Chain A
Amino acid sequence: MKLLAGLGLTLLLLPAVTFAVSSWKIVPASSHITFTATQNGAPVTGEFQSFMGEIQGEPTDLKDSHVKIAVDINSVKTSDGDVASTLKTTDWFDSTDFSQAVFTADKFTQTGKNTYTATGTLTMRGETRPVILSFVLNDYSDKSFDVTGKTTLKRTAFGVGQGDWSKTDAIKDDVLVEFTLKASKA
């Protein structure tokens, strides 16, 4: 009986043990998502100024780590206002119908001393595609961490650039996405 009770208690506690990895809160002022596309052979850069995230995990428990980042497409900013307003149109991000891009990852792999990859999916403009991010854990303590990372996306895989814009002569298919993320323990 005693044994059974002990087993029951253990089973009850199991979920709690599984989710014992830390939860983190993004510090918006120190976190940035930028992108660099290529127009006419030269770089053009922009930024998504608003995004939210749920981050659970720690470097010592990668298999239980989980990340979900939701980017507000309407927060896109470029130095030329015409570029940002064009990006919001139906030909590009169609930010009215698809106001968020969501990245989720639950597979993390350590590739070096403080370098990792996150394997997951990105849903943008109604399309979901696998994405692998690589990032560097610059700083980690039990109170906060910060990472910088990047990935290269094919914009046409998400339908970003419809009609004539789906041609990749003037604007290349590859878009580099870079991020800096600072988070504090929730």
Chain B
Amino acid sequence: MLLKNTQTQYGIVAKSIHWFMALLIIGMLILGLYMADLPISEEKLQLYGIHKEFGLLILMLVIFRITWRIGNIVPLLPSTIPTWQKFAAHAVHWMLYGFMFALPITGWLMTSAAGLPPSFFGLFTLPSILSPNPVWLKLLENIHSWLAYGLIATFGAHVGAALKHHFINKDDVLRRML
């Protein structure tokens, strides 16, 4: 197993970070949808704390991930795939990257606007990047949740396409990432 990507296969670094982030993001989506409607309680506060620190972890990971991707070749898609599907696949990938940045950054802006900075697993307190402002907070909350819905839809397209390639087209598209 190679560290770096080849023309036919993703390397171990790309695979590990892909699946690790997939787990984190699914967990964050479930947690985010669950916690937002809870009445104010100690549990809600703790869940928000967890959501914030894992959000920051995702932001750190995606910065590393995009750097790794730029420094690597990307395995080619099978030549049998129509051009529009290749385009769609790449568009979905870049949209996913966009969400992986936009969600933590809007979260960071939200927690700044609320004046409730999070601790990163007790290691340091995240600095605020916005002055506390209730109007901005409301707006950012809306943006953050719409981004989450957008991510869920894009994620559905990504998973659906991977499964279609594996079970219907029976090609190597999913296996490159396994």
Interface-facing stretch out of A17-25, A26-34, A37-45, A130-138: A37-45
**With contacts A79-B114, A171-B42 known, what are 17 further pairs, Cβ within 8 A?**
A40-B48, A40-B49, A40-B52, A41-B122, A42-B118, A42-B119, A42-B126, A80-B116, A80-B134, A80-B137, A82-B40, A83-B116, A164-B41, A165-B42, A169-B46, A170-B42, A170-B49
Contact B40–A86 (Cβ < 8 Å): yes
Closest residue on chain A to residue B45 by CB atoms: A170
> Contact residues of B with A, CB < 8 Å?
40-43, 45-46, 48-49, 52, 114-119, 122, 125-126, 132, 134, 137
Q: Is chain A's binding surface mostly helix, strand, loop or mixed?
A: mixed
Tell me the A residues contacting B by CB distance below 8 Å: 39-45, 78-83, 86, 164-165, 167, 169-171
A83 to B52, CA, bound (A): 17
Query: CA–CA, A44 to B48, complex, Å?
Result: 14
- Note all chain A residues with C-beta closer than 8 A to B122: 41
A39 contacts B114, CB within 8 Å? no
Residues from chain A with a CB closer than 8 A to the CB of B42 are: 164-165, 167, 170-171
Please, how many angstroms separate the alpha-carbon atoms of A82 and B48 in the complex?
Answer: 14
Q: Which residues of A contact B117 (CB under 8 A)?
A: 42-43
Contact B45 A40, beta carbon cutoff 8 Å: yes
Q: Which of A45, A86, A164, A169 contacts B115 (CB 8 A)?
A: A45
Asked if B46 and A170 make an inter-chain contact with CB atoms under 8 angstroms apart, the answer reads yes
| Best-buried of B46, B115, B116, B117 by chain A (most CB within 10 Å) | B116
Find A80's partner among B43, B52, B119, B132 (CB 8 Å cutoff).
B132
Please, how many angstroms separate the alpha-carbon atoms of A185 and B49 in the complex?
47
A79: chain B residues within 8 A (beta carbon): 114-116, 132
